[in-house]
A = this chain, B = another copy of it.
Amino acid sequence: MYTYKYPHPAVTTDCVIFGYDVKEGLSVLLVERGIEPYRGCWAFPGGFMNIDEDAETGARRELREETGLETAFIEQFGCFTEVNRDPRERVITIAFYALVRKAEVQGGDDAAAARWFPIGEVPALAFDHDRILRVALGKLREKIHFEPVGFELLPEVFTMPQLQSLYEAILEVRFDRRNFAGKMLKLGILEQAEERPAGTGSRIPVRYRFNADQYKEMKSKGFKLEF
């Protein structure tokens, strides 16, 4: 038992895990709760922060347990502290979002209870997780205007139409193909993954790769990505 002179809230981390594929669009990974409260409801993976780890370490631990991924883009985006957000006791949660490649996700330990939901088909969630999702989506949208985070959701090699669909799914807008490709290529952070076989202007899309080193170098020279 641990005793304190003043009451301390419990602290959890929750992780909004975003994935993407062309068929389902932008999706989040939810787990079905096996215990009360909200038993049987879907919620974000999360759990209590250990006393000897910082919040990001805790969130990465949750991510690993659910997806098997050791490395992924992860970012803290807010702390939710409403007094009665958990019916059991005072719990505050530090919320992260993670961007993962769905193809690389292995079902984790609790795989049976985890499922991807397209962003438009998310059921009612446990606790205040509906609100957390809305905030996460907003932050992701803001983020993608200024950082090349979209590539975290795509396979290493991807096509321009794929990239465009991703941006359209996240931002919920439509772009003109030509303008999108032009703007994206002009940023100078994409490289062609391979020469096209032979047939020139064909129906087979060009495959690109995100050049992270190039981006880092440009960024260090004061380049500000803006989309």
Chain A residues proximal to chain B, CB less than 8 Å: 1-11, 48-49, 51-56, 76, 78-79, 81-83, 90, 92, 94
The answer to whether B3 touches A1 (Cβ under 8 A) is yes
- Shortest Cβ gap from A6 to chain B (Å): 7
Copies of this chain, count: 2
Residue of B nearest to A93 (CB): B79
Collect the chain B residues with CB atoms within 8 Å of residue A92's CB: 11, 55, 94
CA gap between A54 and B79 in the complex, in Å: 10
CA gap between A83 and B49 in the complex, in Å: 11
User: Known contacts A55-B92, A92-B11: does B6 contact A48 (CB below 8 Å)?
Assistant: yes
CA gap between A9 and B12 in the complex, in Å: 11
Collect the chain B residues with CB atoms within 8 Å of residue A10's CB: 4, 6, 8
Question: What are 23 A-B interface contacts by the 8 Å CB criterion?
Answer: A1-B4, A1-B5, A2-B6, A2-B8, A4-B8, A6-B10, A6-B51, A7-B51, A8-B8, A8-B9, A8-B10, A9-B49, A9-B51, A11-B11, A54-B83, A55-B79, A55-B81, A55-B92, A78-B79, A79-B79, A79-B94, A81-B94, A92-B94
Residue of B nearest to A1 (CB): B3
CA gap between A9 and B52 in the complex, in Å: 10
Residue of B nearest to A13 (CB): B81
The answer to whether A2 touches B9 (Cβ under 8 A) is no
CA gap between A219 and B107 in the complex, in Å: 42
The answer to whether A2 touches B11 (Cβ under 8 A) is no
